[in-house]
Chain A
Amino acid sequence: MKANPGGSIDPQNVVGRDRLIEQIWNTLEGQSVILTAERRIGKTSVIKKMQAEPRAGSHPVFQDLESVHSPEEFALLVYEKVQNFLGLWKRVANSAQRFLQEHRIEAAGVALEAHGTRHWKGFLERSIEDLTNARGQQQLVFFWDEFPYMLDNIWQREGAKSVGELLDTLRALRQSHPSFRMVLTGSIGLHHILARLKADGYRNAPFNDMLKIEVPPLDLVDAQQLAQRLIEGEQLVCPDMGRATAAIAFLVDGFPYYIHHIVRELKNRRSVVDPDKVLAIIEHFTQDASDPWNLTHYRDRIGDYYPNPEDATAVRLILDTVASHAGPLELSQLMAELQSQTSVLGSRDRVLQLLRMLELDHYITHHGDRSYDFRFSLIERWWRHDRDLSP
């Protein structure tokens, strides 16, 4: 197996995701799923593996929605998949087709709009109806990747109202068709879209019937296994495999993407694999001025995620304070240090609220004893470098 940072991974080569996949399939027996993850953590590999090796009775369909800009396009994509599926099972029930004929709308490629009326909602409902009516042999499961991107695209083009409507429609369809299953994934957090919708007056809870599952980085053992397979695949010299793979796994928090990167770089350098070389490569990637892993994103996106400038300042201060400590930081100590530095932060509740947001955005993690730490040591390492902090 070759190091392949960023490329498509053969489902057979996806390492260490069996338990997670099992959990997702189990959940899908009863409800739909929101799969959350940091970018490049390998969620697409997880869903591609689910698609390639489906559980008996399930028929997964993968759709990347990042290029979808309207509810009509979305409805059409769903329609096409349903049609393919029905064709597959030779069940031409097809109320959706009749719907098109009744409203004299052409299907492929044409916006579902006739005589000034938008018909995507009805059309989508009919497609799902067809799907659930055809149930019996296999269950179609939609894997909608980059779902938040689509919402954002629609927002840009049509505004918040259409986004809210689409989310409500999907929720209503899940309610009225209990066998309708979807897995929503995306690299930007749905909670940010929801927060914007709420700020715009939206009052519903469109995902409260779905289970949120986070794609974690690989366990250290699995990460080591991945590193070992890559080192062997690239035929690198590694005098002490155990120590070297432990170093790789540990220093990048089990992110498969970075593991691929490190092994690729070791190969590029024709380097013997040992912990020192691994550390040198990580320092190169985290400290090089050209920022090859674009870690500055973790700084720059704060402004987008926390549009209120006071919030953004407070978030940076919280992260600086946590990064300045070698281990987890207890809330009381964190509060004390923050208050000694600024008066902006205000109440304890406010800090807790920001900490919760930072957890959702994968910056911070909290331990049972109410102490806080960076979620990923790699990001902490970079943050310290970027902000010139030392623990």
Chain B
Amino acid sequence: MAETRQIWRFTPSRTEPAVLETIFVQRQNLLTDTLDQIRDSATTGDKHHLLFVGPRGIGKTHLLSLIRHRVNADATLRDRLRVAWLNEDETSTSFLELLVRIYRALSAGYPTQFSEQHLQETFNRQAADGQRFLEQQLLHCLGDNTLLLLVENLDELFKGLGDAGQKAWRAFLQEHPIACQIATSQSLFAAISRRATPFFGFFSVHHLQPLTVTEAQALLLKIAQQAGNETLVAYLRTPEGRSRVRALHHLAGGNHRVYVVLAEFIDRDSLDELVGPFEEMVDGLTPYYQERLRWLAPQQRRIIELLCTQKEPLAVKEISRQLFSKEQTIASQLKKLKQLGYVNSSPRGRESLYELTEPLMRLSFEVKENQREPLRLIVDFLRVWYRPEQLQTKLAQAITSSSPTRPHLQAAVSRGGQSDLRLEMLERDISTAQETQSWEEIVTAMEERAHVRGTANDWFELGNAQDEILRFADAVASYDKALAIDSSLAYVWNNRGNSLADMNRQAEALESYDKAIAHIQDDAFLWNNRGNLLFNMRRYSDALVSCDRAIGLDPNLEASWNNRGNALYQIGRYTESLESYDRALAITPEFALAWNNRGSALESLGRYEDALESYEISLTINPADSDAWNNRGTAYFKLNRIPEALKDYQQALEIDPQNCGAWNNQGDALLNTGYFVEALASLDRAIALDPLGAYPHMNRVEALLGLRKWDAAFSALKTALASTWPNAESHAGDIVGMLKGVLAGSEEAAARKERVVRLVNHYRDAGLISYFAEGLVRSLKFWKSSMFNHKVLDEWRLLWLELKDQYPGLELAIRLFDAGSRYLMTNDERVLLDLIATEREIARQALGLVAER
């Protein structure tokens, strides 16, 4: 704790710079930008002038101190700049006096460069002459350096200077652009914000924002860390600690100094320890707020006094009603008060609601109003610090003792009744965050609420919010808390299932859905979700059953019809799946996803033109669906309309550059047009997105074969075969492609054979020789339409016959290929009679002599 004392609460400029750096929050960007502008001023002819505006305690001096510290720590800036920090309590009533102050500050910092002697000579002259003399000396001594002028309370300085002084100062700066000014003031003031004034628009103005709850918590954490107070650090990270910070924020606003003062006792539970320092702080701040109130015109003061008595923000209409004034008058006064930094406004519909910028402002009013009563601020403070029942207990204890805090406790209990102020504040923050969809903030506040009150519904809502920001594990934990309170809540089990499914913990998710269904059997949505999960688990038949249950309960549930279609599709019942999609679309014709799925079903039925039409409708409804573009591309691809396919893939990728399937399909299409290098690039993107995806790896092998990079191709094949393959059929096309690659790229018979052997060996080693067999047979279809002549085919046939004994697993396939290729060369179906009937049927299919199943 000893080090904490190093933080000077009211004069941050005395605090060690290292400490100031440690506890700096919220304004890192502003500080970086300011230093950039100072650097620009120091090293170029540009000179920047910045003004930071904010009420007392908002951290202005802290910021200036850090600026000076960073400037001093930077060799270039230290060399180029001469820093003059004007003492904030000194006034200047003329330009000459200002010059003297600047020169004196420089002389103190750089005595050899700015001789004190010049000041003495100035004092020996008459004012006008002295001014000229000192101007010249300042310019002369400064030489090539830039003056960095740090000014606190610029408004006060300008007030002292008056119009003549300001004009002289501006004229000097215009004639001699030697200075970069970094200034602060408590509010905007006419001398810089009115066009008719000399310094209008001269300063780049930054309004320093109060801390948000999160920033306040960060500040307190840093203070605690700086003090080495690990207990406090840990406490601030708990929901209880956070909710106290939030409560303080509501009562005291986002003023930095308040948190610096309060940092020490935020984790205290003893009333005496708590109320004492709080009263001390209130005592210290009250005169300041009273003074601020005194500065105001009577009508503005009345408005502020009214707002001091309010718990909620007020609309102009209400303020004018309570003050017996015209709305127009009140509106114009509020505008001024806003400019002066006294009030904030936030829109509600067409009107604006006004509240105090600094909630502590009500101190100024309350102290005067309730001479002998406990301050409402302290009472409210107790109400947010403790739960209502804790307050009751503490009051009961205080009755037996002579605690000085008893009146406060009494007031807290009688004001609050059973209402929990901390909860009220939390609810307010939650609904504000919900209006702006600020999910992180919603989760934080809901965590605190669940901690403070902790009903099953609190935990359930928290879980939902956590799920929304993809914190699935946290969501499940929250649902578990809710279920620990009431295990019969089906909707909690259901949402728990959703979160588990999102984490790919499918078995547990299924269990959770089953629990939900055990409590409510006749909810179509629950069955639908279960069906969805089973589909994702590739348990398509089970998924179908669940979907049928959902549809049985609610035949108008289009999602279930769609899911049913998906399940049927996966088990190859394309015609039925098409019917299911049609049912979904009959209920909701705008169901883009169902149109898309319908396209896939049609595609699988070989109805490519119809599929195109279905995708078209899907894309009309939702042109931002990357998958639909990808699917349409595939339909075009299958119709051999490659340029259109490529265009669709590009569209899909423009919408979603992470669409792995589209990268792969684009690679595939490029392969088919012989653009191997481009194909490889596209496939590499697909692999980067899904390193385990089998298809891009396999297409990559084909691309490398096309480029005749044999070693790389076979090494890639090894990787590709290590991936999971659904079935031999899905693989056959790739084998055909690879065989084409080997054949086209190997003119020499010996080389050709060697490559074929390597290819087959990889399949054999991977235990996938049966896949290869299927591919070899299917390659007959390719030869049917190939541009290779019969001589090449015959050589190829003989090559395989040579290998027949080497690979027993390929014996049948080679026999079929042999007969098939002889048919292709002779066009005489009798050659197929060498095969037995069942084999002959397979060969006829491979040759396209009968329709495929």
Any chain A CB within 8 A of the CB of B170?
yes
B48 engages A2 (CB within 8 Å): yes
Select which of A5, A8, A40, A257 is within 8 A of B47 by beta carbon. A8
Select which of B45, B171, B204 is within 8 A of A66 by beta carbon. B171
Instruction: Tell me the chain B residues, 169-215 only, with Cβ under 8 Å from chain A.
Output: 170-175, 177, 180, 188, 193-196, 198, 200-206
Select which of A1, A66, A270 is within 8 A of B29 by beta carbon. A270
Measured CB to CB, the nearest residue on chain B to A52 is B45
**Given A12-B45, A108-B129, A301-B195: A4 and B338 interface contact (C-beta under 8 Å):** no
**Given A8-B173, A67-B171: A294 and B193 interface contact (C-beta under 8 Å):** yes
**Which chain A residues lie closer than 8 Å to B40 at the CB level?**
2, 4
Any chain B CB within 8 A of the CB of A320?
no
Measured CB to CB, the nearest residue on chain A to B127 is A109
Select which of B36, B128, B129, B174 is within 8 A of A64 by beta carbon. B174
**Which chain B residues lie closer than 8 Å to A40 at the CB level?**
200-201
Q: Give the Cβ gap from B351 to chain A, nearest Cβ, in Å.
A: 13
Any chain A CB within 8 A of the CB of B76?
no
**Which chain B residues lie closer than 8 Å to A294 at the CB level?**
193-195, 200-201
A8 engages B177 (CB within 8 Å): yes
Any chain A CB within 8 A of the CB of B283?
no
B201 engages A108 (CB within 8 Å): no
**Which chain A residues lie closer than 8 Å to B29 at the CB level?**
268, 270
**Given A8-B47, A145-B174, A146-B171: A109 and B128 interface contact (C-beta under 8 Å):** yes
Select which of B132, B171, B200, B345 is within 8 A of A108 by beta carbon. B132
Q: In the bound complex, what is the Cα–Cα distance between A289 and B175 (angstroms)?
A: 34
Q: In the bound complex, what is the Cα–Cα distance between A20 and B125 (angstroms)?
A: 44
Select which of B49, B132, B345 is within 8 A of A289 by beta carbon. B345
**Given A7-B48, A10-B45, A11-B45: A62 and B175 interface contact (C-beta under 8 Å):** yes
Measured CB to CB, the nearest residue on chain B to A235 is B36
A2 engages B46 (CB within 8 Å): yes
Any chain A CB within 8 A of the CB of B164?
yes
Any chain B CB within 8 A of the CB of A292?
yes
Measured CB to CB, the nearest residue on chain B to A267 is B33
Q: Give the Cβ gap from A239 to chain B, nearest Cβ, in Å.
A: 14
Q: Give the Cβ gap from B215 to chain A, nearest Cβ, in Å.
A: 16
Interface residues as binary, B155-172 with A (CB distance below 8 Å gives 1, 0 otherwise): 000000000100110111
B33 engages A65 (CB within 8 Å): no
Any chain A CB within 8 A of the CB of B640?
no
Q: In the bound complex, what is the Cα–Cα distance between A174 and B33 (angstroms)?
A: 49
Measured CB to CB, the nearest residue on chain A to B165 is A67
A289 engages B48 (CB within 8 Å): no
Q: In the bound complex, what is the Cα–Cα distance between A11 and B126 (angstroms)?
A: 36
Any chain A CB within 8 A of the CB of B286?
no
Q: In the bound complex, what is the Cα–Cα distance between A151 and B395 (angstroms)?
A: 74
Any chain B CB within 8 A of the CB of A13?
yes
Instruction: Tell me the chain B residues, 777-829 only, with Cβ under 8 Å from chain A.
Output: none
B174 engages A297 (CB within 8 Å): no
A10 engages B44 (CB within 8 Å): yes
Measured CB to CB, the nearest residue on chain B to A13 is B46
**Given A7-B204, A39-B201: A290 and B338 interface contact (C-beta under 8 Å):** yes
Measured CB to CB, the nearest residue on chain A to B198 is A66
**Given A268-B206, A270-B29: A4 and B196 interface contact (C-beta under 8 Å):** no
Interface residues as binary, A149-163 with B (CB distance below 8 Å gives 1, 0 otherwise): 100000000000000
A289 engages B338 (CB within 8 Å): yes
Any chain B CB within 8 A of the CB of A44?
yes
Interface residues as binary, B136-172 with A (CB distance below 8 Å gives 1, 0 otherwise): 0000000000000000000000000000100110111
A63 engages B33 (CB within 8 Å): no
Q: In the bound complex, what is the Cα–Cα distance between A110 and B128 (angstroms)?
A: 8
Select which of A8, A62, A67, A289 is within 8 A of B339 by beta carbon. A289
Q: Give the Cβ gap from A366 to chain B, nearest Cβ, in Å.
A: 24
Q: Give the Cβ gap from A383 to chain B, nearest Cβ, in Å.
A: 15
Q: In the bound complex, what is the Cα–Cα distance between A62 and B204 (angstroms)?
A: 25
Any chain B CB within 8 A of the CB of A69?
yes
Inter-chain contact total with CB atoms closer than 8 Å: 115
Any chain A CB within 8 A of the CB of B37?
yes
Select which of A9, A39, A108, A109 is within 8 A of B46 by beta carbon. A9
Any chain A CB within 8 A of the CB of B335?
yes
Any chain B CB within 8 A of the CB of A87?
no
**Given A109-B128, A268-B206, A301-B196: A7 and B175 interface contact (C-beta under 8 Å):** no
B129 engages A109 (CB within 8 Å): yes
A6 engages B49 (CB within 8 Å): yes
Measured CB to CB, the nearest residue on chain B to A290 is B339
Q: In the bound complex, what is the Cα–Cα distance between A10 and B40 (angstroms)?
A: 10
B206 engages A67 (CB within 8 Å): no
Measured CB to CB, the nearest residue on chain B to A80 is B132
Q: In the bound complex, what is the Cα–Cα distance between A301 and B194 (angstroms)?
A: 11
Instruction: Tell me the chain A residues, 38-92 only, with Cβ under 8 Å from chain B.
Output: 39-40, 44, 48, 62-67, 69
B129 engages A292 (CB within 8 Å): no
Q: In the bound complex, what is the Cα–Cα distance between A9 and B49 (angstroms)?
A: 11
**Which chain A residues lie closer than 8 Å to B171 at the CB level?**
64-67, 146
**Which chain A residues lie closer than 8 Å to B45 at the CB level?**
8-13
**Given A39-B195, A64-B175, A294-B200: A8 and B129 interface contact (C-beta under 8 Å):** no
B46 engages A297 (CB within 8 Å): no
**Given A64-B171, A109-B128, A294-B193: A7 and B335 interface contact (C-beta under 8 Å):** no
**Which chain B residues lie closer than 8 Å to A257 at the CB level?**
201
**Given A4-B40, A10-B45: A44 and B201 interface contact (C-beta under 8 Å):** no
Q: Give the Cβ gap from B111 to chain A, nearest Cβ, in Å.
A: 28
Q: Give the Cβ gap from A294 to chain B, nearest Cβ, in Å.
A: 5
Measured CB to CB, the nearest residue on chain A to B206 is A268
Any chain B CB within 8 A of the CB of A384?
no
**Given A7-B49, A8-B173, A146-B171: A292 and B196 interface contact (C-beta under 8 Å):** no
Any chain B CB within 8 A of the CB of A264?
yes
Q: In the bound complex, what is the Cα–Cα distance between A5 and B200 (angstroms)?
A: 11
A297 engages B195 (CB within 8 Å): yes
Measured CB to CB, the nearest residue on chain A to B352 is A289
**Given A39-B195, A257-B201, A297-B196: A4 and B48 interface contact (C-beta under 8 Å):** yes
Select which of A6, A12, A290, A297 is within 8 A of B203 by beta carbon. A6
Q: In the bound complex, what is the Cα–Cα distance between A149 and B41 (angstroms)?
A: 28
**Which chain A residues lie closer than 8 Å to B173 at the CB level?**
8
B204 engages A264 (CB within 8 Å): yes
**Which chain A residues lie closer than 8 Å to B175 at the CB level?**
62-64
Q: Give the Cβ gap from B25 to chain A, nearest Cβ, in Å.
A: 17
Q: In the bound complex, what is the Cα–Cα distance between A4 and B168 (angstroms)?
A: 22
Q: In the bound complex, what is the Cα–Cα distance between A69 and B162 (angstroms)?
A: 14
Name, among A67, A267, A270, the residue most crowded by chain B CB atoms within 10 Å (CB to CB).
A67
Pairs of residues from A and B, 9 with the lowest C-beta to C-beta distance, nearest first: A10-B45, A109-B128, A64-B171, A8-B177, A297-B195, A109-B129, A67-B168, A67-B167, A8-B47
With A2-B48, A62-B175, A108-B129 given, name 14 new contacts (CB 8 A). Answer: A6-B202, A7-B180, A7-B202, A8-B47, A64-B170, A64-B174, A69-B164, A109-B127, A110-B128, A146-B171, A267-B33, A268-B206, A289-B339, A291-B339
The chain A residues found within 8 Å of chain B, CB to CB, are: 1-2, 4-13, 39-40, 44, 48, 62-67, 69, 108-110, 145-146, 149, 257, 261, 264, 267-268, 270, 289-294, 297, 301
6 contacts between A and B (CB under 8 A): A2-B46, A4-B40, A9-B45, A64-B171, A264-B204, A270-B29
The chain B residues found within 8 Å of chain A, CB to CB, are: 29-30, 33, 36-37, 40-41, 44-49, 95, 125-129, 131-132, 164, 167-168, 170-175, 177, 180, 188, 193-196, 198, 200-206, 335, 338-339, 345
